[in-house]
Amino acid sequence: MSEIRFKEESYQIIGACFEVYNQMGAGFLEAVCQACLTIDFDLRTLPGIAQSELTLQYKGKLDRALG
């Protein structure tokens, strides 16, 4: 089994996910969880991008959407 490359960062990210779940519970839409995680990441001084642009090509058509 390989070693975790970014152990401390992984620990902080998973901790933020559990904290949001413990505080909010289950059943919320993705937008609610994302907003809560953004707050928790800020409190932990973890850098992150909430939504980045995603360029897709599907059936010969190019589309840009928020990821």
Scanning the structure block, which residue is given the tokens 């969880």?
Answer: 33
Is position 1 within any domain? no
Count of H-run helices and E-run strands, the chain: 2, 2
pLDDT for 66: 60
pLDDT for 6: 92
How many domains would you assign to the chain? 1
Residue ranges, the chain, pLDDT below 70: 66-67
Average pLDDT, the chain: 89
pLDDT for 53: 82
Chain centroid to CA 20: 12
pTM of the model: 0.73
Q: Which two tokens stand for residue 67?
A: 């990821």
Is position 36 within any domain? yes
Q: Which domain holds residue 15?
A: 7-66
Tens-digit pLDDT profile for residues 14-29: 999 999 999 999 999 9
pLDDT for 67: 54
